[in-house]
Amino acid sequence: MVDQKTSDERLYLALDLPNVGEAKSLVNKLGECIVSYKIGLQLLSIGGVELGQELKAMGKNVFYDFKFHDIGATVEKATRSVSALKADLLTVHARPEVMKSAVAGRGDSNLKILAVTVLTSLDNEALREIGYHQGAKELVMRRVNQALECGVDGVVASPLEASAIRNAVPKDFLIVTPGIRMPSDNLNDQKRVSTPGATLNLGASHLVIGRSITQAKDPRKAVLNIISDIAGG
């Protein structure tokens, strides 16, 4: 059994690395400290799907961050393909047609569909620049309501919206939050952020953390510090 003091399956490590070799090296280095992994666009087209299969064979949780956004028929077929991979989580954009199609495509598999609401790199000013009249929180909550209507299993949203979402959704609805930073971390391109423990206390079900671990001098120590922050709330 994995020591719960040194791992937490709610923590998904984003394997945003240049190649599969580096990703595998990090996975081996971290061992049982990390139970759950997210594979995003950087790796998906160069062996990331196959890496996910290897991680599943190791008993890990796998999150394919495809962010599907296409016509309904295409999304349905693509989701059906991903469901055959036995992955745990899949992202699609929070557009009603896309969400409904993904739900249809996953059928009776165990794949959980997450709707991406508003990227954590966007703030109210950035949303105005690209033509939205709503602020981030208002837009997120609108998409959460649409997600509930479409039958997806959860959403991806920033820590700043986690509490409002949790108060508006069923207990088993997933709230997956990127934009997680330790107090000493550089924010990089993230705008709407919080610490690991605080985010879970706000109502998030899962955390996605990448650079705080992948760019750390000692990734294993970084993971243990994050888990300590989670334990301390």
Neighbour count for residue 107 (Cβ, 10 Å): 12
Q: Which residues contact 3 (CB under 8 A, 6 or more apart)?
A: 32
Cβ–Cβ under 8 Å, residues 100 and 150: yes
Label residue 99 exposed, middle or buried (CB < 10 Å: 0-12, 13-18, 19+). buried
Beta bridge partners of 89: 63, 112
Considering the candidates 5, 56, 60, 67, report the single residue annotated as catalytic: 67
Show the tokens assigned to 59: 């008993």
Half-sphere exposure of 232 (CA within 13 A, CB side): 9
- In the chain, how many H helices and how many E strands? 11, 8
Task: Name the CA dihedral angle for 94, 106, 52, 44, rounded to a multiple of 10 degrees.
Answer: -50
Whether 86 is catalytic is no
Annotate 134-168 with DSSP letters as a single string. Answer: S-HHHHHHHHHHHHHHHT-SEEE--HHHHHHHHTT
Question: Phi/psi class of residue 68: alpha, beta or left (left: φ > 0; alpha: ψ in -120 to 50)?
Answer: beta
Annotated catalytic residues are 67
